Chains A and B, each alone.
Chain A
Amino acid sequence: MKRIIIALLGISLVFTSCKKGKVEISGCTDSSALNFDPLATIDDSSCIYPVNTSLTINFSQTVDGVDLTTDTMIYTNSAGEDYSIQTLKYLISDITLHKDDSTSILLKEVHFVDIRNASTLSVDFGELQDGNYTSISFTMGLDTAKNISNRYVNEDFHATMFWPEPNGGGYHYMKLEGAYTNDSTFYNTHTGGTMGGDYSFNNNSSILLNVNNDMGDVIIDINMEINNWYQTPNEIAFSTYGMGIMMNMQKQMELKQNGMTDIFSVSVNQ
């Protein structure tokens, strides 16, 4: 008799063992919660979660302070040339957050931004550790240590940002292209390590970001104001580009100086 009961029990267990919720134990069933109960089968909404601060960095682009519109000749540079923007791709490297205790966190070695690819315009860096962050720094382009041919051969941007050896090797820092004056005259503002020179530049922006454990998500926006490439201190006209500026050290220097002046602005949204 006993045996039969045990056998029956066994069989009934076999039937129920794979079905969830037959033997009901209520509690918190989410393993990411602080009070996760591994025995619980029914969630009773009692889960308690740690409050994380997750960091997102957005890369935005404006012309004269207004969000970029592509493919229409609605912009005018400081030299008075009307222009449109069709392509904008650039590399931002060494994106680093700095704390008041003089430690820093390198968020990403190189980030490729392509205005035609929404997934490159926003990067989720996940949880941000507590601390008082006082500045964010990054490099426009690649410094000499990084700007080496084939260094990023397995990255998406390898082919499209390729800068051939006869021009110094490495990668384009930026490809900004479109038409000017009329629809069939094109400009290519291509910056890079012309003849092995280093025309990348660093941007360091102060921020007020005190992260503690009961703070929500944080978004840092890095905006490029495109028209500023062409005005201060050097007024740059597309009509002076000649056959192109990839070998033109003077133009690369002028673009770098303009870039350092006011191309980027950083804002923090909590």
Chain B
Amino acid sequence: MKKALYFFIVLVLLFSCKKEVVETTIPHQTSPYTISTPLGFPTMQIPDNNPMTVEGVTLGKKLFHDKILSADGTQSCASCHFQAAGFSDTNRFSEGIDGSFGDRNASTIVNAGWNTSNFWDGRATTLEDQAFGPVVNPIEMNNSWQNVENTLNANTTYKDLFKKTFNIDDIDSTHVVMAIAQFERTLISANSKYDKYLRNEIQLSPSELNGLVIFNTEKGDCFHCHSTDMFIDNLFHNNGLDAEPFTDLGLAKVTGIDSDNGKFKTPTLRNIEFSAPYMHDGRFSTLEQVVEHYNSGGKYSTTVDPLMKKLGVGLQLTEQEKQDLIAFLKTLSDTEFLNNPDFTP
């Protein structure tokens, strides 16, 4: 009897020290989604609190394409990010739900899981942070998160999907952006003609090969910013588009530092053939114009990158070399990605 009592006391003591009470929950089953790292890509950094699941990706895809997120039900993420255009907008500026326009061209969403910052000026760190923006942006979906949460919670399909995916009873903005970010991390493009060439599966034409050499040597000097097989360096540069004063301060809008004026995030060049118009403000409608810009050497400003070292002199490419460079850029088109049925609802 005494023994039992002591045992009881010890038991009470043991439990009394636990801070958290373990609730009994119905175990909920999700299947992990594995990202396979393409040749020449780093391992993708996925936030610990948002592991990839098949359920999460499917839910994210549904949300990405669903107009339910906008105030008047007319716009989804996909309204400005078209798959066939590398998830960018073919219009120079995107039209928001009220017919208002922004002053930046919609970014592509291609291999965005490897971005260390998002938006042209890098103002969002993770894809989760990024997705909070457009829903409430007055010139985009112009909604409120409270309203989105109410609408989704009133929708039995979503109730069910969020329960299955995240095991939550009340849908909140945090889990909405988590699902969208999971979907975006699957938007991987690494099966272009160039990738097949890297894997020794095909040959490039002499013109494409010549373009590759121009791109990847100091002749064209593109690789110093559009670096590696990802064609980004996750850094910000002023590539000599404008002289001062700048109409869009870019990175400096976020950092407030003068030396960041006119700097923008290096965009990927994968699927560039299909993601016109080009640059943060969509000023160029063709790759010919882009190449002409670089061939001119660019304009001087106090923040122009020292990598734009042919300022005032220009690249001095011949007509044939310009065409070769463009031919190479087009080897970065990945039709399998642009038409991948996994990305469409």
Contact = CB atoms under 8 A, between A and B. Distances in A.
Interface stretch (B99-107, B125-133, B169-177, B213-221): B213-221
A162 B228 contact: yes
B309 A17 contact: no
Nearest to B301: A184
Contacts of A167: 216-217
B82 interface: no
A10 B12 CA distance: 8
A164 B217 contact: yes
B216 A165 contact: yes
Given A154-B43, A167-B216, A184-B311, A159 B5 contact: no
B306 A188 contact: yes
Interface string B293-331: 000000010101011111110000000000000000000
B13 A159 contact: no
Given A158-B228, A178-B306, A164 B312 contact: no
B13 A14 contact: yes
Nearest to A18: B17
Contacts of A86: 306
Interface string B259-283: 1000000000000000000000000
Contact of B42 (A7, A154, A160): A154
B80 interface: no
Contacts of A243: 218-219, 310
A60 to B, nearest CB: 22
Interface in A3-58: 3, 6-7, 9-10, 13-14, 17-18
Nearest to A13: B13
Contacts of B232: 159
B221 A184 contact: no
Contacts of B218: 188, 243-244, 246-247
Interface centre among B230, B235, B306, by most chain A C-beta atoms within 10 angstroms, is B306
Given A164-B217, A166-B216, A159 B233 contact: yes
A177 B228 CA distance: 20
Interface residues of B, number: 40
Contact of A13 (B9, B41, B213, B223): B9
A6 B8 CA distance: 11
A10 to B, nearest CB: 4
Interface in B1-39: 2, 5-6, 8-9, 12-13, 16-17, 39
A87 B233 CA distance: 15
Contact of B8 (A10, A17, A160): A10
A3 B8 CA distance: 12
Contact of B12 (A14, A187, A246): A14
A18 B16 contact: yes
Interface string A147-171: 0001001100011101011110000
B9 A246 contact: no
A255 interface: no
A158 B41 CA distance: 10
Contact of A159 (B213, B217, B228): B228
Given A164-B216, A164-B217, A244-B309, A3 B5 contact: yes
A186 interface: yes
Given A6-B9, A18-B17, A162 B227 contact: yes
A166 B217 contact: yes
Contacts of B12: 10, 14
Given A153-B41, A154-B43, A247-B218, A162 B2 contact: no
B212 interface: yes
A212 to B, nearest CB: 42
7 contacts: A3-B5, A18-B17, A150-B39, A166-B212, A186-B311, A187-B309, A243-B218
Given A6-B6, A153-B40, 12 more contacts: A7-B5, A10-B9, A86-B306, A150-B39, A154-B42, A158-B228, A162-B228, A166-B213, A184-B304, A184-B312, A186-B307, A188-B218
